[in-house]
Amino acid sequence: MYPDVALYIDGSWTGGSGAALPVLNPATGEPIGRVAHATPADLERAVAAAERGFARWRRSSGFERARILRRTAALLRERCEHIAQLLTLEQGKVIAESRQEVERGAECCEWMAGEAQRIYGRTIGSRAAHVSQLVIKDPIGIVAGFTPWNFPINQLVRKLTGALAAGCAIIAKGPEETPASCAELVRAFADAGIPAGAMNLLYGTPAQISEYLVPHPSIRKVSFTGSTAVGKQLAALAGRHMKPMTMELGGHAPVLVFADADIASAARILCASKFRCSGQSCINPTRYLIDRSIYERFVDAFVEAARAIKVGNGLDPASTMGPMANVRRLQAMQALTADALEQGARLRLGGARIGAAGYFFAPTVLTDVPLSARAMNEEPFGPLALIRPFSSLDEALAEANRLPYGLAAYAFTRSSTLARAVVEQVQSGMVSINHIGLAAPETPFGGMRDSGYGFEGGSEAIEAYLQTRFVTTADL
């Protein structure tokens, strides 16, 4: 059922010239298929194809591009079950989340189709009657996009739709560990009518691909989603070659729960979001800062909700949380938990691997976690809820801003004064109050500080793929 995954270059699927490497099912740890790896020769072919593809695609109208994006959305919905099954097989997430991810991908195509029709310039009144002054928006050029394994469809669809809606060509490097769902996404775009060369999909050795593409003179824009450490390396490389970047990097999201919050509702909402995708999401609440006066009540409610999670193979409809996506995350959960416990944290739930096959780790709740614990400083990227009490607003705000990340932040309170304090003082690209309301296609998604820069989603998204130019003409 799981296919061998090929590269998509110049409108054709190809095995590539590198060795094909195995893809593992994280629910079993067993190989399920293979993914082609690109060599430098494949990269060269992809760039040459993108140059031709861009020359053609940039001349298409926004309306034509929108039609193709809408057709892609329809194909994704038609193929949703097939793609969702592949996504769960290779990534581990539960099938309901995989279906939602495909549907979100379709919605992203529709949103960006609208954006393709809304690329506006402007006129600027001139100082002389015979002079006209225009601001125009052109597609920026060929984009190199790098996407990770946690939301394989969503991370890739944002880059594909942004680039293609703007009239750019794109060479995407997908995640080698979860390649088949990405390939099916690209197939939907291709079947909908994206011309050969305008969209290419590669897999391979990540550093080799980025070191070839980022400095390449034909690449005019770099967009990366992944860890802060890799993001900083790529930003330095892109900076040396004066390439604009969009950087969607890691986070360590604080959530502040104040004494006047609806505690039961906050615990339920936060539990559902914490363990989605087994906690492997960059906007996941990770540092739970709870007003001391409601601390034990919140912890009890959260633990009760977390205890109800059913961990199992994502293909089993009864499972509500799947395995970690790879063995690195499983090992990281074991190491981060052991370190927190050694440093004095209290284990309220979970804390260990489940079973000996696959990469399952129990939903884990740790309270009173010392700030020196590794998990309070590194992005946990897994099903660890780290809970601490606070005694004052200032203490909570100081902890929220202690780390260099600034992607998502959350607060639960009925007080508009407290909500405003969080919005004004927590340094974070996105703030969500009393719900988890981030990452819809129509809303901007992006961070600040070590979480990166630039936005995907919202009306900001297409700007990243446009070059603003100024044209002035004097009548003769």
Q: Which residues are catalytic?
A: 248, 282
Given 200, 223, 225, 278, the residue binding ligand NAD (CB under 6 A): 225
Q: How would you class 20 by CB atoms within 10 Å of its CB: exposed for 0-12, middle for 13-18, buried for 19 or more?
A: middle
Segment near ligand NAD (CB under 6 A), from 23-31, 243-251, 271-279, 458-466? 243-251
User: How far apart, in whole angstroms, are the C-alpha atoms of residue 14 and residue 198?
Assistant: 16
Residues that bind ligand NAD (rule: CB under 6 A) add up to a total of 22
Exposure on the CB side of residue 172, measured as CA atoms within 13 A:
29
Distance separating alpha carbons of residues 147 and 172, to the nearest angstrom: 8
Does residue number 246 form part of the binding site for ligand NAD (CB under 6 A)?
Answer: no
157 is an interface residue for ligand NAD by CB under 6 A: no
Structure tokens that stand for 360 in this block: 């399952």
Q: Which of 97, 115, 379, 456 binds ligand NAD (CB under 6 A)?
A: 379
Question: Which one, 156 or 311, has the nearer CB to ligand NAD?
Answer: 156
- Compute φ and ψ for 260, nearest 5 degrees: -90, 10
Does 227 help bind ligand NAD (rule: CB under 6 A)?
yes
* Footprint on residues 321-350 left by ligand NAD (CB under 6 A): 328
Could you tell me which stretch among 19-27, 80-88, 230-238, 367-375 binds ligand NAD (CB under 6 A)?
230-238
> What are the φ/ψ torsions at residue 432 (nearest 5 degrees)?
-130, 125
- By CB under 6 A, which span of 57-65, 144-152, 314-322, 344-352 interacts with ligand NAD? 144-152
Cβ contacts of 151 within 8 Å, gap of 6 or more: 101, 277, 281
Which of 248, 291, 450, 456 is close enough to bind ligand NAD by CB under 6 A? 248
Shortest reach from residue 446's CB to ligand NAD, in Å: 11
β-pair type (285-291, 253-257): parallel
Tokens of 238: 């892109």
**Residues 155-166, buried b or exposed e (16+ Cβ, 10 A)?**
bbbbbbbbbbbb
In this chain, which of 114, 206, 244, 370 binds ligand NAD, going by CB under 6 A? 206
Min dist CB 82 to ligand NAD, Å, is: 24
Which pair of tokens denotes residue 337?
């938990």
Q: Is 381 in the site for ligand NAD (CB under 6 A)?
A: yes
Least gap, CB of 142 to ligand NAD (angstroms): 17
Structure tokens at 283: 């906007």
d(CA 114, CA 120): 12
Residue 162 in contact with ligand NAD, rule: CB under 6 A: no
Residue 200 within binding range of ligand NAD, rule CB under 6 A: no
Q: In the numeric block, which tokens belong to residue 208?
A: 């080799």
Stretch that binds ligand NAD, among 60-68, 74-82, 142-150, 415-423 (CB under 6 A): 142-150
406 in Cβ contact with 400 (< 8 Å): no
Q: Which of 150, 161, 200, 313 binds ligand NAD (CB under 6 A)?
A: 150
Whether residue 100 contacts residue 141, with contact meaning beta carbons closer than 8 Å, is answered with no
The residues with which 291 forms a beta bridge, in sequence order, are 390
Q: Is residue 97 near ligand NAD by the rule CB under 6 A?
A: no
Q: Which of 154, 149, 197, 213 is nearest to 175 (CA)?
A: 149
**Which residues on adjacent β-strands are paired with residue 142?**
169, 219
Indicate the residue among 37 and 71 with the shorter CB distance to ligand NAD.
37
Name the CA dihedral angle for 43, 175, 285, 89, rounded to a multiple of 10 degrees: 160
Q: Pick from 92, 250, 314, 389: which binds ligand NAD (CB under 6 A)?
A: 250
* By CB under 6 A, residue 361 contacts ligand NAD: no
- Asked whether position 175 contacts ligand NAD by CB under 6 A, the answer is yes
Tell me which of 55, 207, 338, 357 binds ligand NAD, using CB under 6 A: 207
Shortest spacing between CB 244 and ligand NAD, in angstroms? 17
- Burial level of 181, CB count in 10 A (0-12/13-18/19+)? buried
Site string (272-311) toward ligand NAD, x via CB under 6 A: ----------x-----------------------------
Q: Which stretch binds ligand NAD (CB under 6 A): 84-92, 112-120, 145-153, 191-199?
A: 145-153
Phi, psi (deg, nearest 5) at residue 262: -80, 100
Report, in Å, the least distance between residue 128 CB and ligand NAD: 50
Residues making contact with ligand NAD (CB under 6 A): 146, 148-150, 175, 206-207, 210, 225-227, 229-230, 233-234, 248-250, 282, 328, 379, 381
